[in-house]
Every structure is written in structure tokens, then in C-alpha cells.
Amino acid sequence: MTVTILITSGPTREYIDPVRFISNASSGKMGKALVQEALKQNCKVIAVKGPSDIDIPENKNCKVINVISAKEMLSAVKQNLKSADIFIGAAAVSDYRPVSVAKNKIKKKDIGSDTINLKLIKNPDIIKYVGNHKNKKVVVGFALETKNLLSYAKTKLKEKQLDMIVANGANTISSEKSSPVLIFKDGSVKKIKLVSKEKVAKEIINESIGIYKTVKTR
């Protein structure tokens, strides 16, 4: 049985004008580690990758789709979700985007003041969309918070109909190591000590495949 895993990775960019954008510090390291581990375990991978310096090589078992914005990422997920058995949303998707994008670079002399008001609108919630269309797919999300991490992660797990959520503190961003807590739909919790993101990825892939095998036999 070959398992196909759809993985989102890296940040998104929401442009304000042709040269400025809203984004975050996600490096894409976790997403790449998940892709590599899934391939080691003979899975097929569809990687939807936001803009980062981390390269994910494409091969016969790994399809790579490069995107920029949250809307582009959602479109790619929708187009490939039917092919996947497991979805892992490791991307750090921007929650908001500018209501409008200026056609030309915004110049200070055109603003007329020392402040600028930027009107934002909510981006689509990719993990929520997948949770609402999961059928028998396994859906894994990530939560990154600066406070009340476990409480927030448990709420997100339930509200977005996830099978597992990976809860991380903000210190994991761009780092080589991580010590997340895996929280499962049945309420069980698995704490991982500070290890490389490659070892964390192995834990996540193993647990995801284990959940998928259980769901498949129901």
C-alpha cells in the first residue's frame, strides 16, 4: 500500500505593492524534513511550497508546487487533495492580506504624512478547509504560539477537525531543533524532547501513517 502525503511548507507572502509584502520568519525547514522522511518511508509526496531559500527537489515520487500567497496555496491544495491520503499543514500561512495591492511602489512623498493605514482582510483558512473535506483522510496541523500553547492547540485541533496537531513555541522558527508536543484527537499527548527537525519529522510521519492505517481499516 503506497501512501500519498500532501505537505504544505514555508511562509506565504501577501504583497502590499510590487516590492513590499507581509510575511513571517518561517524557513521551510520543517516542511522539507517532512518531505524527506515521507520519501524515506516510500510514500508519494505532493509538496506545496511557499517562498523560502529551502529547496525541495522534485523526483518521480515527489511533486513540488511553488506558490507565493495564501490564496495560491489553497488553490494548489484543492487541486491535489483528492490524490492524498494524509494532509500535513506545516506552512506558516499569513492570516491576513491587504485588501488592495498598489500597482506601483508606494512612495513616501505620495503618502503626505508620517503614518500609513493598511487595510487588511482575512485569508482563507487552509487547514480548516481540509478538515471540512477530509472524508477518510488524515489531517495534521501545526500550532505556534507565544503563550497558552497547549490550550490554543487543543482548541484548534477540535475546531478544525484535525487528527493530530503539532504544538510548538515561537523559538522553533528558523531553528535547527524543536521540542513539540503532539496532541491527538482522542486527547492523548506525546511530548518530544529537543531534537533535530529531521527526528521530529520522523515522529510526525510515523504517527500520521499509524493513524491512517487505523482509519483505513474502519
CA distance 97 to 211: 34
Q: Quick check: 89 and 140 in contact, CB under 8 A?
A: yes
CA distance 79 to 38: 21
CA distance 210 to 56: 25
CA distance 31 to 9: 5
The DSSP line for 141-152 is EEEEESSSHHHH
Q: Which three cell numbers stand for residue 185?
A: 484527537
The one catalytic residue in 24, 61, 104, 148 is: 24
Q: Which three cell numbers stand for residue 104?
A: 506601483
104 is catalytic: no
Q: Which three cell numbers stand for residue 30?
A: 520543517
The DSSP line for 84-104 is -SEEEE--B--SEEESS--SS
Query: Which positions are annotated as active-site residues?
Result: 24
